[in-house]
């Protein structure tokens, strides 16, 4: 990453944002409004939608050297955020939240710029496809059939949600792996060519409930030859041209945007790559990211 400029006089972060972060195994959202900026001091409000209940927070902090530091709080919870200015549309960093029971949550934290005068649900609607990289959505299937990449693993809440929604037993569509202390559920195939169990009539039959692992594609988790954890971008994975043009600027944007999802999935993804699950990825030349640092590199 390039060193940030020490001048923020030409940057205005006032207005409306949507935050994305994690709590337990859930992807969470907040409506964020920065409404006062005086010198380096900034104030605002945070609104969280939690199980259909609204939580309101007051925020105060500083924005200096392209770094936003501050505290947001209400009577029951208090959070600390430290974010770096990535672009006029995005800030990224980390948040630590402490609740009344002294539970502590540490999570990557992303702010995405939205239009003004929107409710939190309207903001979520505006960015609802922010993790959908495929323009063909459910009607292509190249990444669901025959491609030499592991079928998705399912997080605990995902397999339970799919089973409940489609009135099907988990064992019908998941295969269980046990190695050491790891228990991993991976999507079953429906045929010898490795096609996904839920790919039917030339489309994904559970598209609205598909796993995060599917939503990440063409970003894939893997372990390299040095036993290092990587997030890999398969730039040429789709032969139908349904993926966006991943120029370096857009890649950096997605790199930050994916951090909350990686935070949720990383323990499961690491467990997935035990020896019996370390299936070979295709020979497509990947672009690699170091997810434990703020840098990414391109594999030539």
125 contact partners, CB below 8 Å, separation of at least 6:
none
Q: Would you list the domain boundaries of the chain?
A: 15-126, 137-297
Write down the pLDDT at residue 214. Answer: 81
CATH architecture of 15-126: Beta Barrel (2.40)
190-204 pLDDT, tens digit each: 766 668 888 888 788
Write down the pLDDT at residue 285. Answer: 43
pLDDT, mean of each 10-residue run, the chain (300 residues): 52 91 80 90 88 85 94 90 90 89 87 88 75 64 68 81 91 80 78 77 83 77 61 67 69 77 67 46 43 35
> pTM for this structure?
0.67
29-67 pLDDT, tens digit each: 889 999 988 889 999 999 887 766 788 999 999 999 999
Write down the pLDDT at residue 67. Answer: 93
Write down the pLDDT at residue 62. Answer: 95
Task: Using CB atoms within 10 Å of the CB of residue 164, give its burial: 0 to 12 exposed, 13 to 18 middle, 19+ buried.
Answer: exposed
CA dihedral over 257, 259, 263, 265, signed as positive or negative: positive
């Amino acid at each position: 990453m390039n060193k940030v400029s020490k001048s923020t006089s030409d940057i205005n972060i006032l207005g409306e944002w949507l935050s994305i972060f994690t709590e337990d195994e859930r992807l969470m959202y907040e409506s964020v409004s920065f409404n006062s900026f005086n010198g380096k001091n900034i104030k605002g409000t945070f609104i969280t939608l939690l199980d259909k209940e609204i939580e309101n927070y007051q925020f105060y902090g500083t924005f200096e050297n392209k770094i936003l530091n501050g505290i947001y709080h209400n009577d029951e919870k208090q959070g600390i955020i430290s974010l770096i200015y990535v672009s006029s549309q995005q800030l990224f960093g980390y948040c630590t939240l402490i609740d009344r029971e002294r539970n502590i949550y540490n999570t990557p934290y992303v702010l995405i710029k939205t239009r003004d005068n929107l409710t939190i649900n309207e903001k979520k609607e505006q960015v609802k496809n922010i993790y959908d990289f495929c323009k063909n959505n459910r009607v292509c299937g190249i990444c669901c059939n025959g491609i030499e990449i592991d079928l998705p693993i399912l997080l605990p809440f995902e397999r339970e949600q799919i089973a409940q929604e489609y009135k099907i037993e988990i064992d019908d569509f998941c295969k269980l792996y046990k190695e050491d202390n790891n228990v991993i559920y991976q999507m079953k195939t429906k045929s010898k060519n490795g096609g996904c169990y839920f790919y039917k009539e030339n489309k994904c039959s559970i598209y609205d409930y598909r796993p995060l692992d599917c939503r990440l594609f063409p970003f894939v988790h893997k372990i390299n030859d040095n036993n290092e954890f990587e997030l890999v971008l398969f730039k040429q994975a789709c032969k139908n041209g349904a993926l966006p043009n991943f120029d370096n600027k857009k890649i950096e944007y997605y790199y930050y945007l994916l951090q909350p999802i990686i935070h949720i999935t990383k323990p499961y993804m690491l467990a997935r790559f035990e020896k019996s699950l370390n299936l070979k990825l295709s020979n497509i030349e990947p672009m690699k990211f170091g997810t434990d640092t703020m840098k990414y590199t391109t594999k030539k």
